[in-house]
Structure 1
Amino acid sequence: MTTLTSTGSQHAQAAGVGNNRALAVIFAAIGLDAVGIGLIFPILPRLLAEVTHGDNVAPYIGIMTALYAVMQFVFAPVLGALSDRLGRRPVLLISLAGAAINYLVMAFAPQLWMLFLGRAIAGLTSANMSVAMAYITDISPEDQRARRFGLFNAVFGAGFIIGPILGGVLGDYGLRLPFIAAAILNAANLLMAFFVLPESRTPSREKLDLAALNPLRPLRWTWRMKNLLPVILLFFILSMTGEVYGTCWSLWGNDAFHWNGLWIGLSLGTYGLCQALAQAFLPGPAVKLLGERGTILTGFVGTCLALVVMAFAKQGWMVFAVMPVFVLGGVGIPALQSLASRMVDEGMQGQFQGVLASAVSLTSIIGPLMFSTLYFVVRSQWPGAIWLSVMVVYVLAVPLVLSLKFRRAE
């Protein structure tokens, strides 16, 4: 009896060690996806200027950012469904290999179309986050899933902070050096996954449901829940305004302050850190003190104050000085999610979260195109005007916040 118990304990310990190694690989993939998103921001204006031999590259930045989002939006359900059919491991290995090859191609791409192609492939491979989340679900007991999904978000946030800083620092030494570093990191993670990552589930033999691959499918649900349309529209607006930072920040920093890659990366990383800290620690206390509606409006006020300072800033230090004000802006979307969850029955929460995820994906496509076009218009006269355009969007959204009612969907 003692022998059996000891053997069972050893098997459990071995399984635990195996799961920990698998989680390390998965979290590394998630972090590298986030690093890849932010890595390109500080160097993209200079890279596009070098390839196109032009000065005003704002439209190209918008197109590249939107292209990345389109590929991620379209292929996230595809990779998720393929992982159900073929297994998580092969899909993850192929996506990691594709990421490594893509960054290597971008490191030496001499023409614009090759950069567009590389960014499209990067968006496709980063769609593996849906597979990573499924893998975590497969190997995690129910009582550990919340903690591990929390780590998922923390790792992604850390990668998004590290990415711009790494891209800015390396980009000052060599414009293509960040891509080489990303290729090496992804190749190392691929090798680790190949030797360490086990399959987490038995592949399904059921026929692939092609309808499940439609990324617009969750949005159809909203038309049956008319009273939720205002909150979804508000979520869409707030998410879209968030796209302006990745699209225009590096252009504005260079035009307004002549920042090099290091300072652009540091400023973007500081912004990301403020947002992460705000969303981690402030929404709960703020909602208790002000309620969801009051917290959302407080977030609006904080963001608008920061945007006004940035629009009129004459020196770079003023941007870093106003960063803490952005902390207030970070509480808006979590509070909106809390408010929205009170309007939806428990049995429909999953569908509703799927709709919000689809809305975020769509804003990642529309936002970069819209704000890069606006920046192209205002750049020569007043680059900081781009931030006032974002403030106008927030002001127009205030009546929508005031119209929301605290009642459940019928």
Structure 2
Amino acid sequence: MKVNKVLWVLLFIAVINSMGFGIIIPLILSYGKKFGVNKETIGLLTASFSIAQFFATPVLGSWSDRIGRKWILAFSLLGSCLSFILFGLANSLLLLFAARILDGITGGNISVAQAMVSDMSSAKDRARNFGLLGSAFGFGYVIGPAIGGLLSKMGDRVPFFFAAAMALVGMVLALVFLKETSSDKTRKENQQNKLFDFGALISVLNKPAIGASVFMGFLLTTAQFAMLIGFQTVCAEQLKLSPVQTGLFYAGFGVSGILMQLLVPWIRKLVPAKAWVLLVSTLICAAAMVWCGLVSGLFGFALGIGIYGLFNGLRNPMLNAVIADRMDEKERGQIMGINQSYAAIGQTIGPLLASAAALLALPFIFFVAAALIIWALYYGWRLKAST
């Protein structure tokens, strides 16, 4: 198996898959208003996806350990395709919830892709390959909203059907061009094991290095999604930016993270220890969030968001590489699935914390994000001590 060929096919699938998500996410509220979605129910609609993903992703990861990554990735992409079609055909709030829950149940795309990267990578190049995978997903998320905005001019349902087509293309590419990365021996051994014990969602936190990495990732994801609420609110209410200007600003934030992920190989040459890279970048992110809570002008806010975007881009490649280095080959899919489960819950908790902080004052959103990042520093130090 040629690693480079498999990796590049996987990266292309990641781009078109995340593009589909990027297309629909900014449109859910405006599209759903005709079915009764409002500022209160949009939170529940978003949470329904994350909760379904929390429980389903580790099960899909465990299945990928048993029957192969390729087939579970294709199944996940098919689920995304059907959920986008259902969303586009919806005529009630109930169907919108059904579509998002279906997408959450079959949403093992990211964790299975991470397990495949772990399978095909040596310890030396794991951080680099995880950085490339993160850049591929990030690129799709960045260009997706722009494509969705253009497609919406052709009809409010068109973006959802286009996203479905992208997921379908990804599924076909996975089936036709992607090679299986898990070994026959590992799959046969796993077929004799129990499918998945939900107690592993807790017990994984007790694993040396892996537990600290998973919980650190959860805290940093929670902080990021709290920050995004603050970012949108500041742009709209304090800086008085138009939706187009806010979109371009957000795109710049996304691009900064992608650029940093592409620099992972050079960063690893300068600082070989992954734990030190995590500690320093996390500390800088905390300082950037405090800065954003203190400044008021566009330049100062953009500077803080830009610095945060850059150094936050190192989080996933480094954490995923640490997890992959320490996990057993037989449980890669399961562990990556659990890791993604915690990220899904962080994506739900972050906005809730931000909403609560905003009741005090807008800057408190960024201070809450900074506090979460500082909490994550403790686990980063534990990680340094155990690696």
Q: Specify the TM-score bucket, using the shorter chain as the normaliser.
A: 0.7 to 0.9
Change (3 A) 1:394 1:32: same
Instruction: Establish whether residue 394 from structure 1 lines up as the match of residue 377 from structure 2.
Output: no
Query: What do residues 9-34 of structure 1 show as CA deviations (whole Å, max 9, x unaligned)?
Result: xxxxxx75x983x5555333322332
Alignment pair present for 1:129 and 2:110: yes
CA gap of 1:43–1:255, structure 2 versus 1, over 3 A, is farther
Structure 1 residue aligned with 2:251: 269
The amino acid of 1:274's aligned partner reads: S
| Sequence identity (%) | 21
Provide closer, same or farther for how the CA distance between residues 407 and 61 of structure 1 changes in structure 2, counting only shifts above 3 A: same
* 1:243 partnered with 2:225: yes
Number of aligned residue pairs = 376
Unaligned runs of 5+ in 1: 1-14
Question: Aligned to 1:364, which of 326, 334, 344?
Answer: 344
Deviation at residue 174 of structure 1 after TM alignment? 3.9
Confirm or deny: 8 A CA contact 2:226 2:353 kept in the other structure: no
For residues 245 and 40 of structure 1, do their structure 2 counterparts lie closer, same or farther at Cα, with a shift above 3 Å needed? farther
Query: How far 1:158 moved relative to its partner?
Result: 1.6
Deviation at 1:307, TM superposition (A): 4.3
Partners of 1:218 and 1:354 within 8 A in 2: no
The match for 2:82 among 96, 101, 123 is 101
Structure 1 partner of 2:242: 259
Q: Is the 8 A contact 2:115 2:333 kept in 1?
A: no
Report 1:6-405 matches (<5 A). 20=5, 23=7, 25-52=9-36, 54=38, 57=39, 59-135=40-116, 140=120, 146=126, 148-171=129-152, 174-197=155-178, 204=187, 208=191, 211-214=194-197, 216-217=199-200, 219-223=202-206, 235-245=217-227, 253=235, 257=240, 259-260=242-243, 262-281=244-263, 293=279, 295-309=281-295, 312=296, 323-327=305-309, 329-330=311-312, 333=315, 358=338, 361-369=341-349, 371-372=351-352, 374-375=354-355, 378=358, 385-395=361-371, 398=374, 401=377, 404=381
In structure 2, the CA distance between the partners of 1:362 and 1:301, relative to structure 1 (3 Å rule), is same
Name structure 2 gaps, 5 residues minimum. none
TM-score (norm 2): 0.72
1:72/1:240 CA distance change after superposition, 3 Å: same
Q: Specify the code of the residue in structure 2 equivalent to 1:213.
A: F
Structure 2: distance between partners of 1:361 and 1:67: 13
Give, in whole Å, the separation in 1 of the partners of 2:340 and 2:69. 25
Report SS of the residue matched to 2:167.
helix
Q: Which has the higher contact order (CA 8 A, sep 6+)?
A: 2
Query: Distance between the aligned counterparts of 1:134 and 1:275, measured in 2?
Result: 22
| CA–CA distance in structure 1, aligned partners of residues 270 and 293 of structure 2 | 21
Identify which range, 265-274 or 82-91, moves more after superposition: 82-91
CA distance in 2, matches of 1:395, 1:362: 18
Alignment check: 8 A CA contact 1:99 1:122 kept: yes
The aligned counterpart of 1:3 is: none
* TM-fit CA distance, 1:270: 1.5
User: 1:408 is matched with which residue?
Assistant: 385
Residue 240 (structure 1) shift: 0.9
Structure 1 length as normaliser, TM-score?
Answer: 0.69
**C-alpha RMSD over aligned residues:** 4.8
